Structure 1
Amino acid sequence: MMRIYIRGAALSALLALTACQTAPVAYQKPALEAPAVWHAAPDAPSKVAARSDWWTDWHDPVADQLMSAALAQNLDVKVAMARVDEARSLSKINDVRYKPSLYLNGSGAVTAGQKAMGGLNDGDARLGAGVGGNWDIDLYGLQKLESQLGQAGLNAADAQYRGAINSLLGEVAIAYIDLREQQRIYALLQKNIELQSETLRVVKIQTAAGAGVQLDVLRASAQVETTRSQLPSVRAAIQIDCNRIAVLLGEAPGARDALLMPDRDMPVFVTDTALKTPAEVIANRPDVQNAEYQLEQQGLAKSISTADLFPKISLSGFFGLSSSSLFGSSAPLNLAANLSRPLLDYDRIHNQIDAQSARQEQAFLSYKQTVLLAVEDVERSLVVYGEEQQRLTTLDNTSTIQAEAARQARLKFQAGYATFLDVLIAEQQLLDAQLSAVQSRARLTSAGVNLYTALGASVADMPRTMASSEKAPSEKAPNEKAKASRLASQ
């Protein structure tokens, strides 16, 4: 009885000593450092951000179909979604890491020995079965920290998933805009080839009648061939864009040619871009959220690693039935308590903690850099979008002026008041102005897409965490398609 009392007193003393240890420090979220106003748009009012289906402003059913297909089929998005599922499972593992565990155990054995005079004795046959369990007692709130660590991993995977969607929609839109730009350029080149060919025909007639010179015929012929030489590279660009769009949709190159090859007008943004404050925009960008959750993971991992410095207590037990042909039946019951504390491993543990502190510092600096790059991304998009609007207005005016100049040059040449060189120069300047206007219109639309992407508008309506969106394995594919369809039809 005295021995039991002494053991109990010793265990109580160790528990009291353990309880006095300092628990690991909880993770503290850093403050977001963002400017008060946008440098490129300091007077922009705070509004509700543009809706996630911003491309519907184009009123282009082909673009609508491409975006819906991309959301439902893109392989990078599917990979990101699978990572969310993985992180959700790992989070559940963390939630039960410090909870008691039970297991069933069964065993059977037959042994036989050799007699001194030869032959085998009867031996022993044993059978056993029972229930056992282990419990690592959580003395420092590690269960909560482990659960937070799993949730941070899930949130990071979710941010990466939403970032993949945001990038995907922007990439599909940019490829679609470039396709329509190349088609506009191709049509413009063909139109100019027709005009230049008509000019060549007139020059040949005049030369044959003695009113022109062969040099003008050569110049006109060279101009037609020069313009025609640009067609193959434009056709190649059109096919490359079609292939790129198909791959972004998770399909083989060429799979969407029948839909994309027919010529359509280039998309144009017809609504003003709404802005939130920098802090609101940056805090809701998927890349910033991902960096924030990565930092949280490292901070929690550091807090958890400090627990290795302190004692650990675990309980274990086993109860079962055992049968032996030599020793009969028994009902073993084992209960044990184990307390361990490092003695010679402090250098190793401290170095591990220091290494984790370095990882946390890296994550913190990466988080700050991500915030700066996000602000720069929005500012650059605002500058390009605003300046390109003015540039396009100027180029449209230039195209109108050059068209009239080319028309007058042809009339004066036919009337004998201008040289053919004047006609060539005017037509070349008209072509250059028209090409610049087409390229500027495409650049403006692309700048609008980049701005929406920088603002995170594509995923603005999505919840910040998907932790509650449980899915049965058989329901995953339909749910993904339904979610993509909802996002595309908002």
Structure 2
Amino acid sequence: MKRLSALVSLALLGGLTACTTVGPDYRVPDNALVRAPSANGAFIGGNGAGVSLDPVPAGWWRLYRDPVLDQLVSQALEANTSIRIASANLRRAMAVVTEVDAERGPHAGVTLAAKRARESGETFLLEEKLPVLNEGDAGIQIAYQIDLFGKLARAEESAHASAEASEAAFDLARVSVAAETVRSYVQMCSAGHELAAAQHVLDLQNRSVDVARRLADAGRGRITDVLRARSQADTLRATLPRFQAEKDAARYRLAVMVGKPPQQLQDTRIDCQTEPRIQQSIPVGDGAALLKRRPDVREAERQLAAATARIGVATAALYPSIIIGASAGYSGILEHLGEGRTERFGLGPLISWTIPDSGARARVKIAKTDAEAALARFDGVVLNALRETETALSFYSRNLQRHADLQAARDEAREAAEQNRRLYQAGRVPYLSSLDAERTLANTEASLASAESQLAVDQVNLFLALGGGWESEAKQ
């Protein structure tokens, strides 16, 4: 018996010293696009007007210096339903990590049983019938799995990487919620701005209608001029409901972002007539900082790590597993439990091995192809991050130039309107000429208002592409 125990101990010691972890050790592949020098360099549009190479701040919306906007973003990051869903998913992933980590430790169980029964006599090689007795069983079992081939270690790697991917998804939700909240606020302000500009153009057109009607009544004009002026006024009036609807829609979106019904936000005095503006160049950094900062890139990389670890889990399933177990307790007649004659104990390893078949080897191939797909997805996310950022930079720089041209046109129209006003007051041009100049000025101001609206949205889109807003400063 002692010799058998010694052999078992030697076998277990040999197994423990021979422990190895099968499957590939994870590292970001050398051929991953995130390692490409071109992906980590300066942006094509990084030297354009209105941007700088400074690092992107954590709470980028604070650059607007708008206390109302800061409060709205803070409320959204606290109460938005997308944030709540991502938070729940993260907590679930952390619970899975705890569950998987627990597999590495010992497992214990307790049994307590009592029954009135008659055992079979033949079970004990007896011919006579046994009496009915009160039977009992009380004991404890402890089991520990020796991770010979790293199945549990790889499962832990996969669980931890998946949890980190969920954390990145949570950060991504924060980025999206912050950007959508700012966009909704900006669009509400822009709609108010464009509504005011359109109303100004309509007011001037109404003055044209009044002048045309008075000239016709005095016999100095034609009725067709009155009808044409009224038609233009009606056309301009028809644009007002669209701007009001856009303002309402932006307000309703803003309510949803901060986790409130539209009616509740309607009761709050949140109104503006001009877009919030950033009074400095937008900091954009470079490609290397972008790929480290964007949560979707980090999420895809962690998903690749989890998929790689699952190759080891599937590979380890091809090999035997050893569980060391121990149990002790009492079994017998209920009244005798605790006495020496009912004592029992056991100690020893349990070796189990399912001989690998084609299905088991297929699962290894499935895990490998999953890892290949995860790498492809990782590369795709990197490419998309660079594309989105370059596109946002291009739109922003081009619309900055458009805005500058419209400002110049507005200034020229304002100068022309001022000169026509002075000429009219001196009696050198008719009133309609002065009014036409005023209407031209109003139209250029309406176009400029539309450009400023687009520029404000471009700023938000650029910050969204840059992927900031999830960092610890924003979480405070």
The TM-score, its normalising length taken from structure 2, stands at 0.86
Whether 2:393 is the aligned partner of 1:398: answer no
Same amino acid, percent of matched pairs: 25
Residue of structure 1 equivalent to 2:68: 62
How far apart are 1:175 and its partner, in Å? 1.1
Residue of structure 1 equivalent to 2:3: 5
How far apart are 1:273 and its partner, in Å? 1.8
Residues 295, 363 of structure 1: 8 Å contact kept: yes
Residues 381, 451 of structure 1: 8 Å contact kept: yes
Whether 2:473 is the aligned partner of 1:455: answer no
Residue of structure 2 equivalent to 1:480: none
Residues in 2 aligned to 1:55 and 1:457: alpha-carbon distance in whole angstroms = 10
Among candidates 90, 96, 113, match of residue 102 of structure 2: 96
Residue of structure 1 equivalent to 2:310: 301
Whether 2:360 is the aligned partner of 1:339: answer no
Residue of structure 2 equivalent to 1:262: 271
Among candidates 373, 388, 392, match of residue 384 of structure 2: 373
Mark the runs of 5 or more structure 1 residues left unpaired by the alignment: 115-119, 463-482
Residues 18, 310 of structure 1: 8 Å contact kept: no
Specify the code of the residue in structure 1 equivalent to 2:188. L
Residue of structure 1 equivalent to 2:187: 178
How far apart are 1:452 and its partner, in Å? 1.8
How far apart are 1:141 and its partner, in Å? 3.7
Deviations 1:340-359 (A, max 9, x none): 2333x332211000001010
Residues 102, 132 of structure 1: 8 Å contact kept: yes
Please give the residue correspondences for 1:438-453 in structure 2 after superposition, counting only pairs within 5 Å.
438-453=449-464
In structure 2, the residue corresponding to 1:309 is in which secondary structure?
coil
In structure 2, the residue corresponding to 1:254 is in which secondary structure?
helix
Residue of structure 2 equivalent to 1:26: 25
Shift of the 48–199 alpha-carbon distance from structure 1 to 2, 3 Å rule, reads closer
How far apart are 1:411 and its partner, in Å? 8.0
Among candidates 166, 174, 194, match of residue 157 of structure 1: 166
In structure 2, the residue corresponding to 1:263 is in which secondary structure?
coil
Deviations 1:231-252 (A, max 9, x none): 1121111111111110111111
Residue of structure 1 equivalent to 2:360: 349
Residue of structure 2 equivalent to 1:247: 256
Deviations 1:375-416 (A, max 9, x none): 111111211122211111111111232344456678889969
Specify the code of the residue in structure 2 equivalent to 1:336. G
Residues 77, 164 of structure 1: 8 Å contact kept: yes
Whether 2:281 is the aligned partner of 1:272: answer yes
Shift of the 108–412 alpha-carbon distance from structure 1 to 2, 3 Å rule, reads same
Please give the residue correspondences for 1:152-231 in structure 2 after superposition, counting only pairs within 5 Å.
152-231=161-240
In structure 2, the residue corresponding to 1:125 is in which secondary structure?
strand
Deviations 1:146-200 (A, max 9, x none): 3322221221111011110011111111111111111111111222222111222
Among candidates 351, 358, 361, match of residue 372 of structure 2: 361
Residues in 2 aligned to 1:190 and 1:253: alpha-carbon distance in whole angstroms = 26
How far apart are 1:339 and its partner, in Å? 1.4
Residues in 1 aligned to 2:8 and 2:113: alpha-carbon distance in whole angstroms = 35
How far apart are 1:9 and its partner, in Å? 3.9
Task: Identify which range, 92-101 or 25-34, moves more after superposition.
Answer: 25-34
Residues in 1 aligned to 2:335 and 2:66: alpha-carbon distance in whole angstroms = 86
Deviations 1:103-153 (A, max 9, x none): 111111112599xxxxx9951111221111111111134443333222212
Residues in 1 aligned to 2:90 and 2:165: alpha-carbon distance in whole angstroms = 9
In structure 2, the residue corresponding to 1:458 is in which secondary structure?
coil
How far apart are 1:446 and its partner, in Å? 1.7
Residues in 2 aligned to 1:453 and 1:413: alpha-carbon distance in whole angstroms = 51
Whether 2:58 is the aligned partner of 1:52: answer yes
Residues in 2 aligned to 1:48 and 1:427: alpha-carbon distance in whole angstroms = 43
Specify the code of the residue in structure 2 equivalent to 1:272. S
Shift of the 316–208 alpha-carbon distance from structure 1 to 2, 3 Å rule, reads same
Task: Identify which range, 428-437 or 210-219, moves more after superposition.
Answer: 428-437
Deviations 1:440-487 (A, max 9, x none): 11221222222222222212446xxxxxxxxxxxxxxxxxxxx85x2x
Residues in 1 aligned to 2:441 and 2:54: alpha-carbon distance in whole angstroms = 42
Shift of the 460–384 alpha-carbon distance from structure 1 to 2, 3 Å rule, reads farther
Shift of the 187–102 alpha-carbon distance from structure 1 to 2, 3 Å rule, reads same
The TM-score, its normalising length taken from structure 1, stands at 0.84
Whether 2:444 is the aligned partner of 1:433: answer yes
Residue of structure 2 equivalent to 1:470: none
**RMSD of the TM alignment (CA)?**
3.1
Specify the code of the residue in structure 2 equivalent to 1:37. A
Residues 124, 326 of structure 1: 8 Å contact kept: no
Shift of the 102–13 alpha-carbon distance from structure 1 to 2, 3 Å rule, reads closer
Whether 2:89 is the aligned partner of 1:83: answer yes
Residues in 2 aligned to 1:383 and 1:364: alpha-carbon distance in whole angstroms = 29
Task: Identify which range, 74-83 or 440-449, moves more after superposition.
Answer: 440-449
Mark the runs of 5 or more structure 2 residues left unpaired by the alignment: 121-128
Residues in 1 aligned to 2:403 and 2:462: alpha-carbon distance in whole angstroms = 17
How far apart are 1:335 and its partner, in Å? 2.2
